[in-house]
A = this chain, B = another copy of it.
Amino acid sequence: MNIDGKAWRTIWLEQGGRSVGVIDQTQLPHRFSTRSLTTLDQAAEAIATMVVRGAPLIGVTGAYGLMLALQADPCDASLAAAFEQLNATRPTAINLRWALERVRDRVAPLPPAERAAAAAAEAAVIADEDVLMCEAIGAHGLELFRSIAAARPSERQHEPLNVLTHCNAGWLATVDWGTALAPIYKAHRTGLPIHVWVDETRPRNQGASLTAFELGREGVPHTVIVDNAGGHLMQHGLVDAVIVGTDRTTRTGDVCNKIGTYLKALAAFDNGVPFYVALPASTIDWTLADGVAEIPIEARSPDEVTLITGLSKPNAADSSADVLRCVQLTPAGTVGFNPAFDVTPARLVTGLITERGVAEASEAGLRSLYATESAGTDGAP
C-alpha cells in the first residue's frame, strides 16, 4: 500500500538476499524508518519486541529468520535450534508455527548446502501467497460491504458505510493489503464511500498509531476513538459493521484476537451489528475446538499498561518538541496485568471472511471451504 504515493510492502530482501528489510513499526506513527535484519537473533528480536507484528507478518518474518539462520549454518542442529528460537518469540499467533513448519519441512530433506536458498524461495512464496490471499479477502469483504450498504434504510443510503475495527489488521500486519482492512481499501478504491471508527487499542495503541497511519496515508476517512466508545456508537446506530483480524481461529470458529475484541463482539451482538473476522487459511488452527480453554494467551510486560510513549508536545516546562517520550500513567509502584489477546466465541461471529469466500463461524462452515486442509483433524467426519 501507499506511503506518500510510494507503494510499500512490510518485508523485503536486500543485499542480494543476505539481509531482510522491514518497517520498524515501534516508531510509527511518528517516524517512518526501516531496519535490516541480518541474523537469526535479529529476526527473533524483531518479532519479540514487535518491530514487526500481526499474525501473517510474524509468519513471514519467521520464515525469513530460518533463511538467515541457514545462511550462517545450514546443519540439522542449526535448523532445529532456529525453529525453536523463532517459535518461542510469540505464543498466540498460529501463523508463526505454520510458516516455520512449512519452511523446515521444505528444506530438511535437502543437502545442507541447498537449504538457505530453498528457505529463501519458500519464504518468498509464503510472502507472495499472503499478498494474494489478503487481496482475495479484500474482494470477498467488499462484496459483503456492498450488501450491507445497500440494505440500509433509504434515508441512510447517502451516508458513508461506517465500519469499526480493533487493533491493526491492515497491510502493516501482513505483507500487503491486510486482512480486516483489505475490504476497506477495496471499498475506498472502488468508490464505495466508507468511514472507519478506529479503536485506539490499548495498551500498545496499534489502532491509534498503525491503523490511523495506514488509513491516513491511503486517504481513507477515519476517526480514532477510545476502546470504551464502541458500544455507545453501536447503541446509537453509528456502526454498520465491525471487522477485525485474528491471530488464531479454532476449527470451530472461535476467534483469538487482540485483547478487547470480545467486548466489541458482545456489543455488536447486543445491537444487531454484523461482526466479521478476516483471515487467511494460515490463521486456522485445525487442532483446536475450544478457543477460550485451549489457546495460550500471551501475558506481556505490565509496563505496557503503566507507561506510554508518544510525541512530546511543548508545554510550560519544556519548549522542545518532536521527541518520542515515555510517560508514566499510574502512581509509583502500581501493579499492572497485561494479557495481550482474548477469545471471541463463534456464537458472536457473523462470518469469517477468508481468501476462499465467507464462511459461517463453525466447524461445518470452515470445512466447507477447506475440505483438504481439515482432513484428518479431530472431529473430521
Contact = CB atoms under 8 A, between A and B. Distances in A.
A225 B337 contact: yes
Interface stretch (A114-122, A180-188, A328-336): A328-336
Interface in A305-322: 305-313, 315, 317-318
B307 A317 contact: no
Q: Which of A225, A232, A235, A333 has the most CB of B within 10 A?
A: A232
Interface stretch (A139-147, A216-224, A356-364, A368-376): A216-224
A51 interface: no
Contacts of A330: 29, 200, 208-209, 212, 224
Interface stretch (A16-24, A36-44, A53-61, A255-263): A255-263
Contact of A297 (B202, B222, B232): B232
Q: Which of A30, A213, A224, A318 has the most CB of B within 10 A?
A: A224
A337 B29 CA distance: 19
A124 interface: no
A318 B264 CA distance: 39
A274 interface: no
Please state the number of chain copies in the assembly: 2
Interface in A326-353: 326-331, 333-339, 341-343
A329 B225 contact: no
B230 A305 contact: no
Contact of A263 (B230, B236, B331): B230
Interface string A284-316: 000000001000010000000111111111010
Q: Determine the main DSSP class of A at the interface with B.
A: mixed
A192 interface: no
Given A226-B203, A231-B263, A212 B318 contact: no
Contacts of A209: 329-331
Contacts of A342: 228-229, 231-232, 235
13 contacts: A29-B330, A30-B328, A197-B337, A208-B305, A208-B330, A216-B334, A225-B305, A227-B260, A229-B338, A231-B263, A263-B264, A308-B310, A317-B323
